[in-house]
Amino acid sequence: MTKQSKKTPTPQISTKVIKGLAGRDLLSLAEFSSSEVQAVLDLAVAMKQNPANYDTTLKGKSCILLFEKPSLRTRISFEVGIAKLGGHCIYMDHSTQRLGQRESVHDYGKNLERWVSCIIPRVFEHVTLTKMAAASGVPVVNALCDMHHPCQALADLLTLRECRGTLRGIKVAYVGDGNNVCHSLMHGCVLTGANFIAITPKGFEPNPEIVKECRKIGETIGAQVTVTNSVDGVADCDAVYTDVWASMGTSQDEAGRRMKTFAKYQVNAALMARTGKETIFMHCLPAHRGIEVTDEVLDGPGSVVYQQAENRMWAQMALLALILKT
């Protein structure tokens, strides 16, 4: 069940914004303007309320998923979402052979542009995406890399908007590792006027260049970015977000070291109580129960994690509809 504070009319998306998004890549959410992010969210709301109105939007379009990393939410949400829009989706498993090993990423992209309308890679390294986008004449959408996870952030923003009614002025706390999810959520928050605070152990802060980039965006929109090592930073937050402490590909030794370093950053009932208000809990999933988050919080009344998972589909549907519009 979706938790919504209220239903609001969907604003009309300007023709200028629609034209500006057509044919675009999405490698990092920072590549989009505030109005473009809002347009994706607005269309996602409209699609979610009346999906039948959009069931031929991608008719005749084919999209390909190129996945070096395993997935549940990303794969299924793209495949089902593309089908709901009348499009066709192809999945290629690259878990045993990374992109660029059998043939160059450049040649791969030049071939794919002849057959498909959109390329959607889920990769280990951001550079793979930049090479693919440079080679291909069709849009490339980042389904996850080591630096960014923009489609997750769009779903998170949609969820926050449903739960809080607005994004502007709210405060979102991210607790844990300053990773790709943290980076994209930070981008999304400042682009929509939400204040963002990253709460991490020392040495695990988000990339300083991305923090600088987000603060610059925030100055123009009126959103603040804070980075701290203190869990007291969750005070007065509207949402507390966490992710796994060790991402896919992290060695067992490193994962073990992180367990000790991150222990006091576990999102539990005591940490949620520090917010001092009714706060929602968010997680991109999969969750390691009893590690970065307790069952009490993950399964509690304030948790919207499955709403986020559902919204991956609606946000991605809106994104593809706009960038593949001809």
The residues that are catalytic are 122, 149, 152, 243, 284, 312
Amino acid, single-letter form, for residue 34: S
- Other CB atoms within 10 Å distance of the CB of residue 116: 19
Of 106, 164, 163, 175, the residue nearest 140 (C-alpha):
106
- Torsion over CA: 53, 55, 60, 64 (sign): positive
Look up residue 77 and give its two tokens: 């949400």
Q: Starting at the edge strand that comes first in sequence, how are the strands of the sheet with 171-175 ordered? A: 225-228, 195-199, 171-175, 239-242, 280-283
**Distance, CA of 150 to CA of 74 (rounded, Å):** 12
Please enumerate in sequence order all residues whose Cβ is within 8 A of that of 71, keeping only pairs 6 or more positions apart, or say none: 122, 143, 144
Residues in Cβ contact with 63 at an 8 Å cutoff, skipping those fewer than 6 apart: 78, 82, 87, 88, 89, 90, 116, 117, 118, 119, 120, 320
**Angle CA(231)–CA(235)–CA(240) in degrees, nearest 5?**
70
Question: Under DSSP, is residue 138 helix (H, G, I), strand (E, B) or coil?
Answer: coil
CB 170 within 8 A of CB 156: no
